[in-house]
Amino acid sequence: MTLSIGLVYDLRKDYLAQGYSEDAVAEFDSEDTINEIDRAIVSLGHRTDRIGNALALCSRLVAGEKWDLVFNVAEGINGRSREAQVPAILELYGIAYTFSDPLVCALTLDKAMSKRVLMAAGLATPGFAVVATFADLESVNLGFPLFAKPIAEGTGKGIDTDSKVDSSVALRRVCARLLEKHSQPVLVEEFLPGREFTVGILGAGCDARVIGTMEISIPDRSLKAVYSFKTKELCESLVVYSSPPRDKLRVDVEKLALESYRALECRDAGRVDIRLDSGGKPSFMEVNPLPGLHPTHSDLPMIATREGIPYNDLIASIIESAMKRR
């Protein structure tokens, strides 16, 4: 069946032209990514319509336009519920769309809220505290080393080699910088010193399945093994990706990732980041319910490629999963 599929997205270049900084648009897509998604959808026999961002979507909907499905990769621009904006608008108009619903998109962008849900589900995640003001630092009762990052950002924004802190003085300094720069609370977690993995998942609910896992290593010791915004942007030269052996550890990593994905009720596709604690046990770090989809630069397509899943098939699986709800 041929579908009319609208593409909703945020292009970095559009926001840069409006005066936004490079850091502010770090999560947004390149034109290459949208071109590849468009090409893949057309190759599957569907018609595409490049709608643009959420404001453009609103204008088109008010004008009475509709689509069989909206392929949504828009991250949104304001607030901790920004990733929920497009799904909420589409639900108001009764139009099917890809990826998670407004509740899940809002919940998972707030890293502390995600962890509370997973802790209630009995899943492993490091102890944490939320620092919204300097006064909150007095109630942080966690053992060093700790890791501090913005509570509602992705793509490694706000994370650098100073994010790992070993003292109260360092924690105060890092929190002061993050609070000022990102205008949102800081998530302070117990530091996980072990190996790091990212797990690709397709589907929803009981149909959700792991498609593969990549281990992430950063050889340059000056980067302190921190998967930061810098290392993600320059991953081709700074990061070593590998497929871990299919041993018990990988089974445990993928089991935790899938249980986390299902507990948070993500759907269609996503990526779960797992790191080992000091005892070598997997622990949940965060989930991305709107994974990047550049064929060679984004983690989910990289995982798919390693597992023998062509890019077109990855996009087809996302569409098929979304169409089950239509």
Asked if residue 113 belongs to a domain, the reply is no
pLDDT in tens, 280-312: 999 999 999 999 999 999 999 999 999 999 999
Residue 156 has a pLDDT of 83
Question: Of 172, 190, 208, which residue constitutes the final position of a domain?
Answer: 190
pLDDT in tens, 132-186: 999 999 999 999 999 999 999 987 889 999 999 999 999 999 999 999 999 999 9
Residue 198 sits in the same domain as residue 293: yes
Asked if residue 13 belongs to a domain, the reply is yes
Residue 36 sits in the same domain as residue 155: no
Q: What is the mean pLDDT of residues 206-228?
A: 90
Asked if residue 106 belongs to a domain, the reply is no
Residue 309 sits in the same domain as residue 201: yes
Using DSSP, how many helices (H) and how many strands (E) does the chain show?
A: 12, 12
Residue 24 has a pLDDT of 84
Burial class from Cβ neighbours inside 10 Å (0-12, 13-18, 19+) for residue 304 reads: buried
Residue 151 CB partners (closer than 8 Å, separation 6+)? 80, 110, 111, 112, 130, 184, 185, 186, 187
Residue 138 sits in the same domain as residue 168: yes
Residue 198 sits in the same domain as residue 230: yes
Please check the confidence at residue 256 and state whether its pLDDT lies above 80: yes
Residue 58 has a pLDDT of 98
pLDDT band, very low/low/confident/very high, at 244 (cuts 50, 70, 90): very high
Residue 175 sits in the same domain as residue 263: no
pLDDT band, very low/low/confident/very high, at 235 (cuts 50, 70, 90): confident
Range of the domain at 199: 192-323
Residue 189 has a pLDDT of 98
Residue 34 sits in the same domain as residue 57: yes
What's the chain's average pLDDT? 96
The two tokens of residue 198 are: 């990212």
Question: Of 155, 171, 190, which residue constitutes the final position of a domain?
Answer: 190
* Total tally of structural domains belonging to the chain: 3
Asked if residue 148 belongs to a domain, the reply is yes
Residue 185 sits in the same domain as residue 196: no
Q: What is the mean pLDDT of residues 174-201?
A: 97
pLDDT band, very low/low/confident/very high, at 230 (cuts 50, 70, 90): confident
pLDDT band, very low/low/confident/very high, at 73 (cuts 50, 70, 90): very high
Q: How far is 213 from 198, CA to CA, in rounded Å?
A: 6
CATH of the domain at 177: 3.30.1490.20
pTM over 0.75: yes
Q: What is the mean pLDDT of residues 101-108?
A: 98
Residue 255 CB partners (closer than 8 Å, separation 6+)? none
Residue 324 CB partners (closer than 8 Å, separation 6+)? 204
Output DSSP code: residue 204.
Answer: S
Please check the confidence at residue 224 and state whether its pLDDT lies above 80: no
Please check the confidence at residue 326 and state whether its pLDDT lies above 80: yes
Residue 306 sits in the same domain as residue 318: yes
Please check the confidence at residue 317 and state whether its pLDDT lies above 90: yes
Question: Of 190, 208, 233, which residue constitutes the final position of a domain?
Answer: 190
User: What is the spatial order of strands in the sheet that 128-131 belongs to?
Assistant: 128-131, 186-190, 146-150, 164-165
Question: For 218-233, b where at least 16 C-beta lie within 10 A, e where not — what string?
Answer: beeeebebbbbbebbe
pLDDT band, very low/low/confident/very high, at 223 (cuts 50, 70, 90): confident
Q: What is the mean pLDDT of residues 250-259?
A: 98
Residue 223 sits in the same domain as residue 253: yes
Please check the confidence at residue 109 and state whether its pLDDT lies above 80: yes
Asked if residue 212 belongs to a domain, the reply is yes
pLDDT band, very low/low/confident/very high, at 65 (cuts 50, 70, 90): very high
Q: Write the DSSP string, 60-115.
A: HHHTT---SEEEE----SSSTTGGGHHHHHHHHHT--BSS--HHHHHHHHSHHHHH
CATH of the domain at 280: 3.30.470.20
Residue 97 CB partners (closer than 8 Å, separation 6+)? 8, 69, 70, 71, 72, 86, 87, 90, 322
Residue 231 has a pLDDT of 84
Residue 141 has a pLDDT of 96
Asked if residue 104 belongs to a domain, the reply is no
Q: What percent of the chain has pLDDT over 90?
A: 88
The two tokens of residue 190 are: 């117990």
Task: Return the amino acid letter for 137.
Answer: L
HSE (CB half, 13 Å, CA atoms) of 318? Answer: 33
Asked if residue 304 belongs to a domain, the reply is yes
Residue 229 has a pLDDT of 75
Asked if residue 84 belongs to a domain, the reply is yes
